[in-house]
Amino acid sequence: MSSSTRVAEARPKSGRETAYRRARIANLPGGAFLEGRWETTEMTVEVRDPEDGVLLGTVCSSSPQDVRRAVAFIHRHLMEDDWALRDRREALERAAALLADQAGRFAEIIAAESSKTITEADREVRRCIETLRLSAAASSELVGETLGFDDSMAGANKIGWFNRKPVGIIAAITPFNDPLNLVAHKLGPALIGGNGVVLKPSGRTPLTGLAFVQLLLDAGVPAGRLAAIVSGPGVSEAIVTDSQVDLISFTGGPKTADRIAAAAGAKKILSELGGNNATIICADAEPAKAAEAVVAGAFGVAGQNCLSVQRVYVHISLFDEFVDRVVTGTRALRVGAKFDRTTDIGPLITEAEARRVEDWVEEAKAAGATVHVGGQRRGAFYQPTVLTDVPADARVINEEVFGPVVSILPFIQISDAIHAANDSEHGLQAGVFTESIELALAIADKLHVGAVVINETSDVRIDSMPFGGFKKSGVGREGVKHAVREMTEPKSTIIKLAEPAARWQQLTATSERNAS
């Protein structure tokens, strides 16, 4: 490692520091929420800080029977108790206000159990507040329209309309890397749509999700609309196969998504499955701005972000300067303790994940790749790494690294860069840097991805936009109002009227009787 790389050793926590950190999250609710109450038995699943292994708390080890009880309870509530749209909107508005009041506490929970630095955790809480507000505002999406029957053989003497109704019970399965906002992106739209939800947060970062469920309850979400189950033998399969679960919303990897689809059968499934996102730097781009954006987009949350910049295609005329700028920016990053506000990059979620990233980089090196900075591991920490000369068949190119590694490759013809960017099983997002709007739009049109960000990297998500990808990057779209549409269905009401002449005679006779 270069001596100029800024590395802050993750020093052992003092007894006072550890006690403070645990005390701040000690008032979290129980280890699972089902049948309208918190479960505190079988609290045997440990949650530890990935930075140093400190025990943060325990959650319940649940069973398939617990899943069945939870789903049945929500199903009865949906059948028996109405929850008016206005009340749903007001509950989510109160939840946003409560989260704003508790922003510091939630940020500390996120930073303690996940890979995020406290600065990154602060940002996630702010985004979640906006997601809740957008979810409340999405009440306006629950409208329908009249149905035009006049121009149809079967439509004579009929009038009708449709409006949107909840699908029923939604299974929300969320990952570790955004343990608050990705939960809100599923629960907010589901609840405003009138559904019930069974949440399964990541077993690596469950404390945030459970605290969020309690916040929703405090805001007025009925206990009969929610359940949260973290872990236990057979729990995941029980959730996705339950016949009363109507829709599965999953964020994770393609292999898990395949298993869910095979087990769930004929159910509606929404999935966001990540990507190995590309950014293209054209010959007329500004190298300094592009390099700064790539460093930020490749290494945030230690690269554990579905939108992370993984592949960068740079016009050969800018290649050497661009690589130098990215390497300089990467060396300036500070790797260290998550609660230190001078830290830029924390650990990966586990040491095993850091070892996997290390193995992938070593494979690329053995095949001829050059490591310009980084390439070293210490426990769960992996230094931000910049590669060039990477073979096209290397895993760091073809698969989702989900770690702090970026590969930079030169191109001569823009068509070659587009082809290389599209040459992937994934298609989530991409970035393009150019001063020509005509060129930018032409490239955007040819990139087979869910979103193209011009003069930024792939690492951009606005919580109101339709979010998802092509190919193995997922099915359906999140983004609050778009998710509301996915989590509701149009229900038509059709009225058959009498023949026009008969109807007119009936109305006339009724009018005359009333007049007399």
**Rounded to the nearest 5°, which phi and psi values hold at 409?**
-130, 140
Burial (0-12, 13-18, 19+ Cβ within 10 Å), 133: buried
Look up the CATH superfamily of 15-273+479-490. Aldehyde Dehydrogenase; Chain A, domain 1 (3.40.605.10)
Return the minimum-mean-pLDDT range out of 26-35, 103-112, 251-260, 296-305. Answer: 26-35
Q: What DSSP line would sit under 43-67, residue for residue?
A: --EEEE-TTT--EEEEE-B--HHHH
| pLDDT at position 210 | 96
Strands 474-475 and 268-272 come out as antiparallel
Q: What is the pLDDT of residues 139-180, one digit of tens each?
A: 999 988 998 888 888 888 899 999 999 999 999 999 999 999
- Residues assigned a catalytic role: 272, 306
Q: What is the pLDDT of residues 22-71, one digit of tens each?
A: 545 556 788 999 999 999 888 899 999 999 999 999 999 999 999 999 99
Contact criterion met (CB below 8 Å) for 91 and 219: yes
CA dist 336 and 384 (Å) reads 12
The 10 Å Cβ neighbour count of residue 354 is 23
Instruction: For the chain, give every domain's residue range.
Output: 15-273+479-490, 277-465
| pLDDT at position 2 | 36
Fold of 277-465: Aldehyde Dehydrogenase; Chain A, domain 2 (3.40.309)
Return the minimum-mean-pLDDT range out of 148-152, 428-432, 437-441. Answer: 148-152
Q: Which two tokens stand for residue 434?
A: 């150019």
| pLDDT at position 393 | 94
Return the minimum-mean-pLDDT range out of 168-182, 205-219, 223-237, 492-506. Answer: 492-506
Contact criterion met (CB below 8 Å) for 364 and 387: yes
How far, in Å, are 123, 192, 295, 378 from residue 335 at the CA level?
18, 40, 14, 11
Token pair 């739209």: residue: 189
| β-sheet bridge partners, residue 7 | 335
| pLDDT at position 373 | 98
CA dist 225 and 50 (Å) reads 32
Q: H helices then E strands: how many in the chain?
A: 17, 24
- Whether 448 shows a pLDDT value over 50: the answer reads yes
pTM for the whole structure: 0.91
| pLDDT at position 201 | 97
| pLDDT at position 8 | 39
| pLDDT at position 18 | 57
